Structure 1
């Protein structure tokens, strides 16, 4: 009787599909990451610790994490605002702006870095205005933040935009009819619904910024202890044929990124669950 009433899968071949999925993930993600840790394990504990705690490496950790976090935070705010404008308003050039959001995806990162450096250099189109007031953008942490903000913006916009499109206007109309003002409408009705998507966009932008190289290497100036990011330091180790050292630094960043993304995804899951219950 159990076999008779057993529910059949809508799509057949689950076992075969799962097998292909696991093989593909193993070849593309799991095995390369495992090799990375294996390469780092060729160092002794003392060598590994000395490599990852070197003053130059620690400075690059701090700079990379700090600038990536600030850039992702800026994108979380202004990316949400851009998504709101694109969804809630119709205006001339709407489709052009909507398509322009994806340009950082399509533009080679090296080209983006050269363009940003040209614009924000002390003699650049925008940089010379900052230079006139004694403020330097290119070859500083501020320039790195600008580059990371540029490449991370689409992640937030494209995460929030579909949620805003699917948001039911009836809740807003009902709240407005009960006397809620626009600020209350946003923070009580709209924000709780889009907050998980904002978290997703923030996490993606932050993770992307941690590993960004091409757009940052030109505008940063690559000064050790000042504007040297972790990806550049890894490249430097590889050019010196210090593969184990490069793997050690990369493994630390990988573990940090994994823990951070896990915490953000867990927070997002808790927030979504709470919103559904309410």
Structure 2
């Protein structure tokens, strides 16, 4: 009988389910239970208040802009790290994971210091009339910083595993570099890009520490939804905080579900094409 390193299915599955229930399901269930303790009218009154709606708009628009930026820049960064060898490549590759290790509050303070009107970057931008700190643009930059690794790390391994013969075959058929990228490489990267984009957007929606220092936190202008939920907690209005947080939770779940559906369709299409 072959010896297994891990224990049997029953024990492994039991430990896994217990861990998931304790770390993931229990907090989410407590949030849903607290929000559900409100009546439908009270719940709708809280989540549809003008201040809450304004925070949704600020958060969603900034998250969309940050994700779009990361899609382009993260794809380019992953491409450079995989396809080219240059001095300092390992250092750049390690710096990609810096937002994972750096406390988000530290990132927020650093970004504020850099992009304030008297900061290194902010002073230069101020000369041409661009304000970053305490504006929606600052929120977008903070979101971009914290969510960039999700796209790079999901695209990078797929790029490394791509068969060079596919590109060589396209070149022998007379395909240009642009045609090879759009018709050969990009479709193969589709599922990974979808996963990276969805994770980046979900992280941006829930980001808090890196934003509150650079946003200015002005209601109706630069106040994000996570901060509004935190304010309700400080006011000991736990039901309102849970209701506002549930909007972010439902949005993230809906987006991840849609992304998984699109990924499954893309994988089936690729499997059919190869067959």
Normalising by structure 2, what TM-score? 0.95
1:259 has 2:254 as partner? yes
Greater shift after overlay, 175-184 or 223-232?
175-184
- What's the secondary structure of 2:120's corresponding residue? coil
Kindly provide the CA deviation profile for residues 28-58 of structure 1, in whole angstroms up to 9, marking residues without a partner as x: 1112111111111222222111111110001
- The answer for the alignment partner of 2:101 in structure 1 is 106
- The answer for the alignment partner of 2:202 in structure 1 is 207
1:117 has 2:112 as partner? yes
- The answer for the alignment partner of 2:171 in structure 1 is 176
Paired residues in the alignment total: 271
1:71 has 2:66 as partner? yes
- The answer for the alignment partner of 1:85 in structure 2 is 80
What displacement does 1:187 show?
1.0
What displacement does 1:89 show?
0.4
What displacement does 1:12 show?
6.4
- CA separation in 2, counterparts of 1:264 and 1:48? 28
The 5-angstrom pairing of residues 127-166 of structure 1 reads 127-166=122-161
Q: 1:90 to 1:243 in 2, by over 3 A?
A: same
- CA separation in 2, counterparts of 1:31 and 1:127? 43
What displacement does 1:16 show?
2.2
- CA separation in 2, counterparts of 1:75 and 1:48? 34
- The answer for the alignment partner of 1:5 in structure 2 is none
Normalising by structure 1, what TM-score? 0.94
- The answer for the alignment partner of 1:195 in structure 2 is 190
Kindly provide the CA deviation profile for residues 138-166 of structure 1, in whole angstroms up to 9, marking residues without a partner as x: 11111100010011111111100000111
- CA separation in 1, counterparts of 2:17 and 2:56? 33
